[in-house]
Amino acid sequence: MMQSDSKPKNAKRRVHFKTLLSVVPYLWPKNRTGIKLRVIAAMGALALAKVANVWVPLFYRDAVDALDKLSKTMDTSTSTTAAVATGAGIAAIPVALLLGYGLMRLMAVLFQELREALFSRVAQNAIRTVALKTFEHLHGLSLRFHLERQTGGLSRVIERGTKGIEFVLSFMLFNIIPTLLEIGMVCGILWGLFDISYALVTFVTIVGYIAYTLLVTEWRLKYRRQMNESDTVANTKAIDSLLNYETVKYFGNEGHEARRYDHALQRYENAAVRSITSLSVVNVGQGAIIAVGLVALMLMAANGVAASELTLGDFVLVNTYLIQLYLPLNFLGFVYRQIRQSLTDMEDMFQLMGVPFEVLDKPAAVTLENPEGVLRFQSVDFGYDPRRPILKGVDFTVTPGKTLAIVGPSGAGKSTISRLLFRFYDPSAGSVTLDGVDLRDATQHSVRAAIGIVPQDTVLFNDTIEYNIAYGRPTASREEVQAAAKLARIHEFIESLPDGYHSMVGERGLKLSGGEKQRVAIARAILKGPRILLFDEATSALDTATEREIQKSLREVSQGRTTLVIAHRLSTVVDADEILVMDAGRVVERGTHADLVTSDGVYAAMWRRQQESTDGA
């Protein structure tokens, strides 16, 4: 979430300081001695680089004074021979000083690059660790969170957050702080060599520059926030539209999608123009402050030279120091703005990491190892919103080798049962048990490892067919993948493709038909080899002939396993050991197909309607 403009400034600063502190553990990780040694060595190289940098103008000053003295000596000498001899003696001094000047410049660059080389591993390790931790945290959040957030926006927050960490580490740690250190050293040198007035003018100039930068940047940050918000909206709309490419084409809404995207881009454009225009105010003010400080110090130094209190080398020294400080100070405005934005981006990412888990493993949660597969729902109540209950007192038991079918109209709560089974949510009342163990007392990983699902809406990764089937068990061999594909009746189709099992399926499996995607999902579930199988409209996208073949395969795979079938097409569940008929979140009927048809209730009415529809077709 983006920060509100109404948030107090001191509160913002506290949040940003807290965000900075959040990065420290990643720069000084536990049990990573190598990383810690790199940090220490990098700090040492940084200090040496700054010491070398402040020595450069001192060598330059002494060289200028030596040359000035040589020039005056040659002008006042009456003997050319004596002047040459004297000059030759003095000339050796500037050469040594100039060599020292060059050496100090080299040392400054050398230690700076050494710092960069040493710290690069630290920074990249921190970025990788934070990104991985955020990614893992997002996978640990509830289904509710992901249903309410847009994936495009989340990916953008993570991307900007990791880039923000890199920028803050690179510029704040090794540009801002060292520059302030160098400013302090220069003020101290000017005070020691001349008097406090030089240090005061330098200090006041810098403080004024920083204060002006902070105030004006705070004023224009609102435009940057508007840019970020508009960028996120535009990116989310683009991804959402491209993921739903077929739907856009079905309704011929390319123009509509382009207008929506362009509207978001226009908002970004307007915010960007305001941001860039306001930047000119910052730059002009910064330039004016630096110019006033430069002129004041140069006048002071010039007066000192005119009064013979300072040498020409001293004048050059003051000028050199000011120019040397001016360059990073000029850069400070941009760096501060970027750091300020980077901290906001980091804060957004760390806020994601602060979202609490809705479903948590208990401290003493048990691991379900090789469960038998006795599944039981006991008086289960549940609602995504407490004001709107979905399941009301649902009871059923399924044992290994048996098949339970759940049927009913849309909105009856059938798919909610599968979400409770996978512990995407916990029931608000009652319990779901596996082999007598309440799922809330077991680890989520072991619960999900015991269940295989073929969903109605099969989503595939944009990778090869082999990868998508092997996703059921990534360690499976090629032969095991092919065996699962054969049971799912998709092996021959895969072999007919030019690239076979290495064929790419496209974004969300766009290159495959609905039936082909479902058969890949069936093969994936078969390969996983779970104790409990859940088929959620698993054959809804298949033609009748293929459906019969798949049903035969599913019966083979289901032998000895606990099987749940959620179905709308009743012809697929006639062989189930028990059928639950749900309506408005309650189980209104249960029994075998024959019993339910004979009882002439809700199920029998549904059966007749579907038979009439089939006959009419």
pLDDT tens sequence across 228-242: 788 888 888 888 888
From the number of C-beta atoms within 10 Å of its C-beta (0-12, 13-18, 19+), residue 512 rates as buried
pLDDT at 332: 64
Q: Does the pLDDT value for residue 307 go beyond 80?
A: yes
Least confident segment among 337-341, 426-430, 523-527: 337-341
* pLDDT: which is higher, 36 or 79: 36
Most confident of the ranges 10-19, 267-276, 547-556: 267-276
Q: Which amino acid is at 95?
A: V
The arithmetic mean of pLDDT across residues 462-478, rounded, is 91
User: Do 413 and 383 form a contact (C-beta atoms < 8 A)?
Assistant: no
Q: Does the pLDDT value for residue 3 go beyond 90?
A: no
- Residue 46's pLDDT band (boundaries 50, 70, 90)? confident
pLDDT tens for 171-200 read: 777 777 777 788 888 888 888 888 888 888
pTM of this structure: 0.63
pLDDT at 539: 67
What domains lie within the chain, and their CATH numbers?
A: 9-353 (1.20.1560.10), 362-450+532-617 (3.40.50.300), 460-529 (3.40.50.300)
- Residue 433's pLDDT band (boundaries 50, 70, 90)? very high
User: Do 446 and 367 form a contact (C-beta atoms < 8 A)?
Assistant: yes
The arithmetic mean of pLDDT across residues 309-329, rounded, is 77
Q: Does the pLDDT value for residue 283 go beyond 90?
A: no
Percent of the chain residues past pLDDT 70, beyond the cut:
89
- Residue 381's pLDDT band (boundaries 50, 70, 90)? very high
pLDDT at 2: 38
pLDDT at 87: 47
Least confident segment among 9-13, 47-51, 113-117, 482-486: 9-13
pLDDT at 6: 44
- Residue 132's pLDDT band (boundaries 50, 70, 90)? confident
pLDDT at 480: 93
From the number of C-beta atoms within 10 Å of its C-beta (0-12, 13-18, 19+), residue 521 rates as buried
In DSSP terms, 535 is beta-bridged to 454, 565
Rounded to whole angstroms, the Cα distance separating 429 from 420 reads: 12
- Residue 481's pLDDT band (boundaries 50, 70, 90)? very high
User: Do 157 and 349 form a contact (C-beta atoms < 8 A)?
Assistant: yes
Question: What sections of 362-413 are H helices per DSSP?
Answer: none
Residue among 372, 384, 368, 378 nearest 441 (CA): 368
Rounded to whole angstroms, the Cα distance separating 555 from 534 reads: 12
Q: Which amino acid is at 574?
A: V
Q: Does the pLDDT value for residue 9 go beyond 60?
A: no
pLDDT at 295: 85
Residue among 270, 271, 245, 269 nearest 257 (CA): 245
Q: Write down the mean pLDDT value for the chain.
A: 81
The arithmetic mean of pLDDT across residues 328-346, rounded, is 73
Question: What sections of 141-195 are H helices per DSSP?
Answer: 143-148, 151-167, 177-193
pLDDT at 360: 81
The arithmetic mean of pLDDT across residues 133-161, rounded, is 74
Interhelix angle 544-558/514-528, rounded to 10 degrees, is 10
The arithmetic mean of pLDDT across residues 107-136, rounded, is 85
Q: Does the pLDDT value for residue 137 go beyond 50?
A: yes
Q: Does the pLDDT value for residue 91 go beyond 50?
A: no
**CB-side neighbour CA atoms (13 Å) of 426:** 15
The arithmetic mean of pLDDT across residues 527-539, rounded, is 84
Least confident segment among 125-139, 432-446, 590-604: 125-139
Q: Provide the CA 21 distance to its chain's centre, in angstroms.
A: 19
Q: Does the pLDDT value for residue 83 go beyond 50?
A: no
Least confident segment among 332-346, 373-387, 466-480: 332-346
The arithmetic mean of pLDDT across residues 454-469, rounded, is 86
In DSSP terms, 199 is beta-bridged to none
- Residue 247's pLDDT band (boundaries 50, 70, 90)? confident
